[in-house]
Chains A and B, each alone.
Chain A
Amino acid sequence: MTDTTLETVARPTVQAPEPQRRSPLLWVRRIPGWLVVAVLLIAVGYPLVWLLMGSFKTQAEFLNNPTWALPEDWTNFDNYVEAFTTGNLAVYIKNSILATLPALALTIIIGVAAGFALEVMVWKGRGTVLLLFLAGIMVPGQMILLPLFTIYFQTGLTGTLWPLIITYTAIGLPLTVFMMATFFRGVPREIFEAATLDGASIYRQFRSIGFPMVKNAIFTVALVQFFFIWNDLLIALTFTNRDDLRTIQVGLLNFTGEFGQVQYGPTFAAVCVNVFGTLIIYLFLNQRVMKGMTAGAVKG
Chain B
Amino acid sequence: MTTARKRARKIVPLIAGIGATALALTGCTSGGGGGEATAPDSFSYLSFAENTSIQDTLTALSEGECSAENEALALDITTQPQASYDQQLQLLAGQNALPVLFASGNTPQVAKDLQKGGKLVDVEQALEDLDQSDAIIPAAKSTIDALYDGEQYVLPTEFNVEGIWYNKQLFADHGIEVPTTWDELVAAADTLNAAGVIPFSADGQDGWPLTRLVGNYLFRTLGPDALQRVAEGEAKLTDPEYVEAAAAVAELGDKGYFGPSVTSIDYMTAVNQFLTGQAGMFYMGSWILANFNDPEQNQIGAENIGFMPFPEVEGGEGSADQLAANVGVPLALSEASYSDDVASWLGCFAENFGSSSLANQGVITGFKVATPVEDLPPLTQEVQSQIEATTQSVLWFEALFNAKAATTSQTNASQLVTGALSPEEFMETVQADLGN
- In contact, A162 and B11 (Cβ under 8 angstroms): yes
- In contact, A64 and B272 (Cβ under 8 angstroms): yes
- In contact, B87 and A238 (Cβ under 8 angstroms): yes
- In contact, A154 and B203 (Cβ under 8 angstroms): no
- In contact, B91 and A146 (Cβ under 8 angstroms): yes
**What are the residues of chain A within 8 A of B21 when measuring CB–CB?**
151, 154-155
In this complex, the member of A60, A63, A64, A250 whose beta carbon has the largest number of chain B beta carbons within 10 angstroms is A63
Task: Give Cα distance in the complex from A243 to B80, angstroms.
Answer: 8
**What are the residues of chain A within 8 A of B50 when measuring CB–CB?**
254, 256-258
Interface: B97 (CB within 8 A) = yes
A75 to B: closest C-beta gap in Å = 19
- In contact, A155 and B271 (Cβ under 8 angstroms): no
Q: Which A-chain residue is minimally distant from B288 (CB atoms)?
A: A259
- In contact, A160 and B10 (Cβ under 8 angstroms): yes
- In contact, A155 and B18 (Cβ under 8 angstroms): yes
- In contact, A260 and B266 (Cβ under 8 angstroms): yes
Within 8 Å by CB of B18, from A151, A159, A254, A264, lies: A151
**What are the residues of chain B within 8 A of A151 when measuring CB–CB?**
18, 21-22, 25
Dominant secondary structure of chain A at its interface with chain B: helix
In this complex, the member of B14, B80, B297 whose beta carbon has the largest number of chain A beta carbons within 10 angstroms is B80
Task: Give Cα distance in the complex from A238 to B80, angstroms.
Answer: 9
Interface: A211 (CB within 8 A) = no
Interface: B195 (CB within 8 A) = no
**What are the residues of chain A within 8 A of B22 when measuring CB–CB?**
147, 151
Number of interface residues of B (CB under 8 A): 48
Within 8 A of B (CB), among A170-201: none
Interface: A8 (CB within 8 A) = no
Interface: B436 (CB within 8 A) = no
B124 to A: closest C-beta gap in Å = 26
Task: Give Cα distance in the complex from A242 to B44, angstroms.
Answer: 12
- In contact, B81 and A166 (Cβ under 8 angstroms): no
Q: Which B-chain residue is minimally distant from A86 (CB atoms)?
A: B52
Within 8 A of A (CB), among B81-128: 81-84, 87-88, 91, 94-95, 97
B59 to A: closest C-beta gap in Å = 13
Q: Which B-chain residue is minimally distant from A152 (CB atoms)?
A: B18
Within 8 Å by CB of B11, from A160, A256, A260, lies: A160
From known contacts A63-B268, A150-B95, A261-B268, infer whether A237 and B81 are also in contact, taking CB-CB under 8 Å: yes
Task: Give Cα distance in the complex from A117 to B22, angstroms.
Answer: 26
Q: Which A-chain residue is minimally distant from B17 (CB atoms)?
A: A155
Within 8 A of B (CB), among A3-32: none
From known contacts A146-B91, A257-B50, infer whether A243 and B78 are also in contact, taking CB-CB under 8 Å: yes
Range of interface residues on chain A?
Answer: 35 or more
- In contact, A260 and B206 (Cβ under 8 angstroms): yes
Within 8 Å by CB of A261, from B3, B15, B267, lies: B267
- In contact, B97 and A153 (Cβ under 8 angstroms): yes
Task: Give Cα distance in the complex from A126 to B84, angstroms.
Answer: 40
Interface: A253 (CB within 8 A) = yes
- In contact, A155 and B13 (Cβ under 8 angstroms): yes
Q: Which B-chain residue is minimally distant from A62 (CB atoms)?
A: B268
Interface: A140 (CB within 8 A) = no
Interface: A49 (CB within 8 A) = no
Within 8 A of A (CB), among B237-273: 266-269, 271-272
A-B pairs, top 10 by smallest CB distance, nearest first, are A260-B267, A258-B50, A63-B272, A260-B206, A237-B84, A149-B91, A261-B267, A156-B10, A153-B95, A155-B17
CB pairs A–B below 8 angstroms (16 shown):
A147-B25, A152-B18, A153-B95, A155-B17, A156-B10, A157-B13, A159-B6, A237-B81, A241-B88, A242-B3, A242-B78, A244-B1, A254-B81, A258-B48, A258-B82, A260-B267
Binding site for A on B (CB under 8 A): 1, 3-4, 6-7, 10-11, 13-15, 17-18, 21-22, 25, 31, 46, 48-51, 78-84, 87-88, 91, 94-95, 97, 203, 205-206, 266-269, 271-272, 276, 287, 296-297, 329
